[in-house]
Structure 1
Amino acid sequence: MKAGLLGMLNSPPCATSVPLRHVRARVTCSSSSGHISFIKDVAATQPPENLQHLLKMLQTRGETLVSPGSRHGLIPLAIPLSENMSGSMTALLRWPTAPPGMEMPVVEVRKHGVWLLANNVDQYIHRILVEEDADESHGSNGELFHASSEAGKKLYTRGDFAESKISNLDGYLLKKVGLFPDLLERKVMRHFEEGDQVSALVTGEFYTKKDLFPGFGRPFVFNAEVLLKVGRTSEAKDSARVALKSPWWTLGCTYQDVASIAQWEDEQIEYIKEKVSEEGRQEDLKKGKALPQVALDEAAFLLDLASIDGTWGDYLDRIAECYKEAGLGEIANFILYRD
C-alpha cells in the first residue's frame, strides 16, 4: 500500500463500545456543496440531481447533517448525509461497480451493513412529502414542502393523498411512489394478521423479484422468514441460501441469523477465508480467471467478512488494495478516505 493512501486512513474506534454519533464530525451549515463535491471528487461518480433538496429536507425535519468524509466505523461504501436524534444515520450507497446509469440508493447505516430506504434520492423525497402531507396529527405546516423546492413540486402535489381516496398510507406509497422494503414487509405481516396466508406468501415471493432491489439480499432473507413462519422449512432454507449469495452487508440482519435458516454453520465463512488466502488467489489465477476479476471477487469477500462483526476498519487497507489491482484506483481512494 502506498504511503499516500495510508495517510488518508485513520484507525476507527471500536464500533461495539463507542456509539457512532459520538465519533463523527458534524456539518452545522445548511450548504450541500460539501456533499456534492465529495461525491464528484472522492466517490468519483455523479451526484444525484436533487441531493441538495433532500439534505435541506433532512435538516428541516430535525436531523443533523454529517460530513460525507466522517466515516469512521462505517461500512466504507456509505456516504453519510444526516443523523437523527436516536443516532440513526441516513447515507448514500456507492456501489463499487455499479452499471452505467444506476442511481445511488438511500440507505440507513447499521453495524453489520445497510438497510435500503429508497432506490434513489427522488423516490425518498417523494415518500417524505407524502408522509408529511398525510400526517394530520401534527398539522403539516409546509416546511418540508418548502425545503424540497422545485424538486418537490415536480414529484408531488400537496393534497394528492387525500384526493386519491386511498385510505391506507402504505397502499398509496406502494401504488403512487414506489416499492420500499419496509412497506412490503409490513404488507406481508398485515396479511398474516388478517389470516390471509396465501397473500402473505405471494407478496413475500414478489418482494424477491430481481429487478426490484438489485444487489440486495434482504428480500430473500425476509421471504425465508415468511416461509419458515408457515412451516415450509426446506423452501426457507433455499431462500436463505440465495440471500447469502448477495453481499452479506445487504441482509438487513446478522449473517448468523440467515445462516441459521440456511442450516449452515461456519462453512461459508471458512470457504470465503480460503478464497481470500494467497492459496485461494493463486488457484483462481491458475484456473484462468483474470487478475482484475480475482481482485474484485476478493474485495467483495472481504466486505462480507467485515460485515459479520461490523469490523470494517480491520479490512480497509486490503479492500482498497484489491480495487487498485482491479484498476479501480478512484474506488480505492474512496474506500480509504476519512476526514
Structure 2
Amino acid sequence: MKIGGGVVNGASRATRHGRGISSLSACSSSFSSPEHISFIKNVAAAQPPQHLSHLLRLLKARGQSIISPGAKQGLIPLAIPLAKSSSGALTALLRWPTAPPGMEMPVVEIQKHGVWLLAKNVDQFIHRILVEEDANNSLEGIDKLFRAAGEAGEKLYKKGNFIKWKNSDIDVYLLRQVGLFPDVIERKVMHHFAKGDHVSALVTGEFYTKKEHFPGFARPFVFNAELLLRVGRNLEAKDAARGALKLPWWTLGCRYQEVAQIAHWEDKQIKYIKEKMTEEGKQEDLNKGKGPTQIALDEAAFLLDLASVEGTWDEYVERIAECYKEAGLHDVAAFVSYRE
C-alpha cells in the first residue's frame, strides 16, 4: 500500500435511523431528476438532498452520463448511483442504514471494495466543483457549470472569489472555505513530506483522524497508519490500522488485506466476525445483555464487511436485507435488496 494512494476517483456501525421525508419543488431547469428524487423518497425512504437536481445537471455538464438510481447490480447495496464518467468512475450517494451525525447522505465514488468519500453532502460537492473550475481560469468552463448549477451555484459560490483570495493554494481554499475532503488532506500531508517537514505531516495526519471530521469512515486511520509506518513508528501504525478495522471495512479506501497486514492481524478479524455470526456467538452476545435488534444490526454490518473483502456484494444482499428486517428497519431492507 502506498501512502497518498487515495485520489478522487477514492460510523460507528449503528447510530440513528432517520425517516423524515418532505416534498421538493419541481426543478424549473430543462434537466431535472424526478427519477432520483422519487427513488430516494420511495425506495431509499430518505430525504432527497435539496440541491440534488443541480448536482446532476452539473455532473452532466462535466461530461458524465446520468444513470438510473436503481442500477445497483454488483455495487455496494447502500449506494444510490448518480453518474458515470468516461473513465468509468461512478459517483453515488451513500444511504447509511443508520447514519452518523452530519453524514446523512454523503457523495461517494464507488470502488470494488467499498466507497471513497467525495464530500459530506451534495452542497459541499457542488461548491468544490465550482471553485476548482474557477481556479482553472476558464471563463467558458465556469459559465457553463454555473448555468448547470443554477440557483445552488449562486447560493454556494460567487465567481472570482478564489482569484480574489489572498492565498493562491487551491487546497488551502477548499479546506478553509468549502470543507474537509479526504483527498485534499492526504495531498497536504504529502506536500509536507515533499518539503521534508515530517512534523507537519504527522500533525496533519493526526488531525485527519479526529472522529468529528469523517464519522463512520475508516480511511483517515488507514492513511495515518501508512504515514506512521513511513516514518518508522511501527507500533503506532499497527494501532492505527487496528482502529481502522474496527470501522466499516467498505470505508477503508483500499483492500482489507492491505490494512490487516499493517495491523498484524491477517485473517484474524475475518475469523472473529464469522464466529460472532454463529448461533453460539449470538447467544453469547444475548447473555452479555445485547438486544436482538443490535445483534441483527451487527450481523448486517459484519456481512457488509465480509462482502467488501472480495467485492462480492450481490452474494450477501439477501441475508443483509433479512438482518435489517429482523432489526425492524423494513424500509432499509427493501432498499438494500432493490434491483432493477
**TM-score normalized by structure 1?**
0.89
Instruction: Tell me the residue number matched to 2:254.
Output: 253
The 10-residue stretch of structure 1 (59-68 or 100-109) with the greater mean CA deviation from structure 2 = 100-109
The 1:133/1:185 distance shift into structure 2, 3 A limit, reads same
The aligned amino acid for 2:152 is A
Q: Runs of 4 or more off by more than 4 Å in structure 1?
A: 99-102
Distance in 2 between the 1:66 and 1:148 partners?
A: 18
Contact conserved, 2:109 with 2:115, CA < 8 A, in 1?
Answer: yes
The aligned counterpart of 2:56 is 55
1:136 is paired with a residue whose SS is: coil
1:222-301 equivalences under 5 Å are 222-301=223-302
- What's the offset of the Cα at 1:285? 2.1
1:15 aligned partner: none
Instruction: For structure 2, list consecutive stretches of 5 or more residues without a partner in the other structure.
Output: 1-29
1: CA distance between counterparts of 2:67 and 2:198?
Answer: 43
Task: Name the CA distance, whole Å, in 2 between partners of 1:62 and 1:278.
Answer: 50
Are the aligned partners of 1:30 and 1:59 in contact in 2 as well (CA < 8 Å)? no
Give the conservation status (yes or no) of the 8 Å contact 1:134–1:161: yes
Distance 1:74 1:153 in 2: 34
Report the equivalent of 1:219.
220
Across the aligned residues of Structure 1 and Structure 2, the Cα RMSD in angstroms comes to: 1.4
* 2:130 is the counterpart of 1:129: yes
Match of 1:33 in 2: 34
Deviation per residue, 1:157-214 (Å, 9 max, x gap): 0000000131111111111111100000000000000010000000000000000001
Q: 1:102 to 1:234 in 2, by over 3 A?
A: closer
Q: Distance in 2 between matches of 1:71 and 1:150?
A: 30
Q: Which amino acid aligns with 2:270?
A: I
Taking every aligned residue pair, what percent have the same amino acid on both sides? 69
TM superposition score normalised by structure 2: 0.89
> Would the alpha carbon gap of residues 248 and 50 (structure 1) be closer, same or farther in structure 2, given more than 3 Å must change?
same
Written as runs of structure 1 = structure 2, the 5 A alignment for 1:43-192 is 43-98=44-99, 102-136=103-137, 140-192=141-193
Residues in 2 aligned to 1:263 and 1:63: alpha-carbon distance in whole angstroms: 41
- Cα distance between partner residues in 2 of 1:250 and 1:95: 12
Q: CA separation in 2, counterparts of 1:101 and 1:259?
A: 28
Residue 30 of structure 1, CA deviation: 4.0
C-alpha distance in 2, partners of 1:194/1:99? 36
Structure 1 residues 141 and 250, CA gap change in structure 2 (3 angstroms): closer
Cα distance in structure 1, aligned partners of 2:208 and 2:55: 26
How many angstroms does 1:100 deviate by? 7.0
Give, in whole Å, the separation in 1 of the partners of 2:224 and 2:182.
12
Conserved in 2, the CA contact under 8 Å of 1:323 and 1:332? yes
Cα deviation digits, residues 21-59 of structure 1 (max 9, x gap) = xxxxxxxx9430100010000100100000000000000
C-alpha distance in 1 between matches for 2:172 and 2:282: 49
CA distance in 2, matches of 1:208, 1:138: 37
Once the two structures are TM-superposed, the CA of residue 287 in structure 1 deviates from its matched residue by: 2.8
The aligned amino acid for 2:211 is K
Is residue 218–residue 250 contact of structure 1 (8 Å, CA) maintained in 2?
yes
Structure 1 counterpart of 2:7: none
Query: How many Å separate the matches in 2 of 1:309 and 1:270?
Result: 15
User: Which ranges in structure 1 are unaligned for 5 or more consecutive residues?
Assistant: 1-28
Instruction: State the aligned residue count.
Output: 311
Instruction: Give the conservation status (yes or no) of the 8 Å contact 2:229–2:237.
Output: yes
Separation (CA, whole Å) in 2 of partners of 1:44 and 1:164: 41
